[in-house]
Amino acid sequence: MKESVKRNLTAWLFLAPYLVFFIAFLAFPIFRGFGLSFFRVSLGRPGTFVGFDNYVRVLTDTQFWLSLSNTLLFVVVSTPLITAVGFTMAMFVNSKLKGTAIIRSVYFAPYVLSMAVVTGLWIFIFQPYLGLLSVLTGVEMFWLSTRWLAWIAIIITTTWWTVGFNMILCLAGLQDIPEEVYEAARIDGASRTQLLFQITLPMMRPVLTMVFMLQAIQSFKLFGQTWLMTGGGPGNHTRTIVQYIYQIGFIERNMGVSSTMSFLFFLVVLLFTFGQSKLLSFTRN
């Protein structure tokens, strides 16, 4: 057998197992979903072609925009926050102080817990009348049923749960900065602030960028915490786009419209990711 043919064949054989799943469960669904967005279809009902009707319906649906803006709100607030907190924690853990290894473990520990455990815990903390905060402070704050408090609760819960991951990433980045660079600067009389802003942050830029982008993508996917802690309430104020997609697709059984929303959501994430990386590379220059 010719060498190059053999090479190609082998390569595709190596790739085949993965590609089968990639095509069946990632690539194909994207196209199928796109196709579905032009139909009125339900589980158990035959589908009818409706052209752009679904798109019109979705784009004129205030609930769609509300859910999307809820998600965006969360992305815009939580991403810098969780990145910054993770970075700060990493900075501390990276210092040569004693006991930082234990503290690192503590900050990271919640990450290994499952979402149900995390939300269950924090519901107990936030709920009125019999919740921990309510009993400890004696003040009745309806965290989970008041619009902005609910978001604060969700953000606190999410931060507690996932910041350890960001911390580790930042830590790795920090540890890559050679000690000599700091030493040289200190000898030149640099203050702590100067060290931070002129050495650490610039050198951490690629890592921080990546952490920021990863966190943003994670935040876009918000579903579990809001579904379990507030049910999307009060009203619709913590209902994320993913939850709305679920409601339209599975509860109201409108899979066509739900597919349309999914596709638009996908576009938003794409746009955001591209926009973000363009912005970040732009500011670098």
86 binds other proteins (CB under 8 A): no
Number of residues that bind other proteins (CB under 8 A): 113
Question: Which 193-232 residues touch other proteins, going by CB under 8 A?
Answer: 207, 210-211, 217, 220-221, 223-224, 228, 231-232
Q: Residue 33 is encoded by which pair of tokens?
A: 């979903």
- d(CA 265, CA 221) in angstroms, rounded, equals 10
Scanning 36-44, 75-83, 196-204, 277-285 for contacts with other proteins by CB under 8 A, the matching segment is: 36-44
Q: Does 14 bind other proteins (CB under 8 A)?
A: yes
Distance of CA 279 to the CA centre of its chain: 19
Q: Please, which of residues 63-82 interact with other proteins by CB under 8 A?
A: none
For position 259 contacting other proteins by CB under 8 A, the verdict is yes
Other CB atoms within 10 Å distance of the CB of residue 105: 11
Please choose, out of 72-80, 172-180, 195-203, 276-284, the segment that lies near other proteins by the rule CB under 8 A.
172-180
Query: Which among 60, 79, 55 is positioned nearest to 262, based on CA atoms?
Result: 55
SS3 37: coil
Contact predicate 74/155, CB 8 Å: yes
Strand pairing category for 39-42 and 45-49? antiparallel
- In this chain, which stretch among 73-81, 197-205, 239-247, 276-284 interacts with other proteins, using CB under 8 A? 239-247
Q: Residues 92, 104: contact at Cβ < 8 Å?
A: no
Q: Can residue 270 be called a binding residue for other proteins (CB under 8 A)? A: yes
- Across the chain, the runs of DSSP E, i.e. the strands, are 39-42, 45-49
CB of 153 to other proteins, least distance (A): 13
Query: From residue 63, how far is each of 13, 73, 236, 244, 254 by CA, in Å?
Result: 47, 15, 8, 8, 15
Q: Which is nearer to other proteins, 4 or 283 (CB)?
A: 4
Scanning 75-83, 194-202, 234-242, 276-284 for contacts with other proteins by CB under 8 A, the matching segment is 234-242
Q: Is 126 in the site for other proteins (CB under 8 A)?
A: no
Secondary structure of residue 44 in the 3-state scheme: coil
Question: Which member of 50, 72, 84, 113 binds other proteins (CB under 8 A)?
Answer: 113
Q: Cβ contacts of residue 174 below 8 Å, gap of 6+?
A: 90, 91, 94, 200, 204
282 touching other proteins, by CB under 8 A? no
* Closest to 61 in 3D by CA, of 242, 248, 232: 248
Q: Does 47 bind other proteins (CB under 8 A)?
A: no
- Please report whether residue 252 would count as binding other proteins according to CB under 8 A: yes
Stretch that binds other proteins, among 74-82, 104-112, 194-202, 277-285 (CB under 8 A): 104-112
Q: Does 48 bind other proteins (CB under 8 A)?
A: no
Q: Which of 1, 2, 25, 188 binds other proteins (CB under 8 A)?
A: 25
Residue 39, classed as helix, strand or coil, is: strand
Q: Which is nearer to other proteins, 120 or 202 (CB)?
A: 120
Provide the minimum distance between the beta carbon of 164 and other proteins in the complex, in angstroms, as a whole number.
9
173 neighbors 93 (Cβ within 8 angstroms): no
User: What's the closest the beta carbon of residue 180 comes to other proteins, in angstroms?
Assistant: 19
Interface region with other proteins, contact rule CB under 8 A, candidates 32-40, 73-81, 194-202, 277-285: 32-40
Q: How far lies 87's CA from each of 90, 153, 166, 248, in Å? A: 5, 21, 7, 38
